[in-house]
Amino acid sequence: MAAFHKCDICSPFFDEELINASLKDVLPNSYIYCICCFEIREAGFTTEIRLAAHTKEKFLKWRSQFEEFSLIKTTYPNCGGKIDFKEDYRCQHNTRQHSDAVNSKNSSKNTKCPMTLKVAIARDPTTYRCRSSDKHLPLLPSVDKN
């Protein structure tokens, strides 16, 4: 089962029962997640999660488990800066816009699910000169916002 921990650096709020109920069915198990921010919204929630995925390969393993629920929305080129890997994801039940007649059919999979995930894996600041004030580095370089 996934373990959720309050971020000691930036999280003022941590309701363990609420977070477990909201995230346990969305995120892959067998990972430890650091919850930096968690907000309840009208249509769900917004959260910022950190996990110890230091390389693209480790993140892609996590992503393959997460992809049961999502599709790639946007990819970004690797320009060699502070970010090694960056992609945006969306729910598989949020298909591209169609007419209202098509969306109202029973066979339509478009539920207009608002779930999105933005991922950025930062480079290890010891390998280059970095003025970043991100106190999570280098232990938790992967930022996941949904």
pLDDT tens across 69-120, in order?
566 665 566 666 677 777 777 776 666 666 666 656 666 666 667 677 777 7
What is the pLDDT at residue 133? 58
* Farthest-apart Cα atoms in the chain, separation: 55
